[in-house]
Amino acid sequence: MDRVLKNIFRGGIATEKIARDAEFEALGTRVQRHVQRRFRGSLAIRAVDAGSCNGCELEIHALNNAFYAVERFGIHFVASPRHADVLLVTGPMGRHMQAALRSAYAATPEPKWVVAMGVCSMNGGVFGESYACGGRVADVVPVDLEIPGCPPTPATLLKGLLALLQNPDKQEA
């Protein structure tokens, strides 16, 4: 054990320093200002998978990893729609998920926003409308913002959230 520790101390830190993107940092700072002003520092998002291929979920998880670390901008993902300000819906609207999405929407307190993330949630994507797929999310619950992409990048997702926060039509919390 001592030999292993000596090798670690002798070798030093082996990981690279994070070179953050200046554009993403500036975007995050703008988001943080809006979150601070409208939500007193914390925007809670509940991600709802309505039948996606998990491509969008991977990008959502990337927002929470050590590189993007979106929580430092005041954006938090929560486990319950009862604690959420935003429902972030991914994937085509599977028929089996329609009732679940309506329940999550009803459980989200006012004022609430719904964001359709990815092409599939916007129009059904390659799945369209079939026996198993109901098409777009807007046919089930009202959608306030659509973020295109297959899947949208973390920066695109953050830009969409900024556009949502800048929307003057919604009541302030």
pLDDT tens for the chain, 173 residues: list them.
678 777 777 776 666 566 668 888 999 999 999 999 888 888 999 999 998 888 999 999 999 888 888 999 999 999 999 999 999 999 888 888 999 999 999 999 998 999 999 998 998 877 777 777 878 899 999 999 999 998 899 999 999 999 988 875 653 33
Is residue 128 a part of any domain in this protein? yes
pLDDT score of 168: 54
- How far apart CA 59 and CA 121 sit, in angstroms, is 15
CB distance 49 to 55 below 8 Å: no
Is residue 8 a part of any domain in this protein? no
CATH of residue 114's domain is 3.40.50.12280
- Of 146, 155, 95, give the one whose Cα is nearest residue 121: 146
Which range of residues forms the domain containing residue 134?
Answer: 21-165
- How far apart CA 31 and CA 34 sit, in angstroms, is 5
Position 36, amino acid: Q
Query: Two tokens at 122?
Result: 């916007």
Is residue 1 a part of any domain in this protein? no
pLDDT score of 145: 93
- How far apart CA 140 and CA 1 sit, in angstroms, is 59
pLDDT score of 8: 72
Is residue 133 a part of any domain in this protein? yes
CB distance 45 to 88 below 8 Å: yes
How many separate domains does the chain show? Answer: 1
Is residue 15 a part of any domain in this protein? no
Is residue 13 a part of any domain in this protein? no
pLDDT score of 73: 92
- How far apart CA 26 and CA 30 sit, in angstroms, is 6
Is residue 122 a part of any domain in this protein? yes
Q: How many helices (H) and strands (E) does the chain have?
A: 6, 5
pLDDT score of 166: 87
pLDDT score of 131: 76
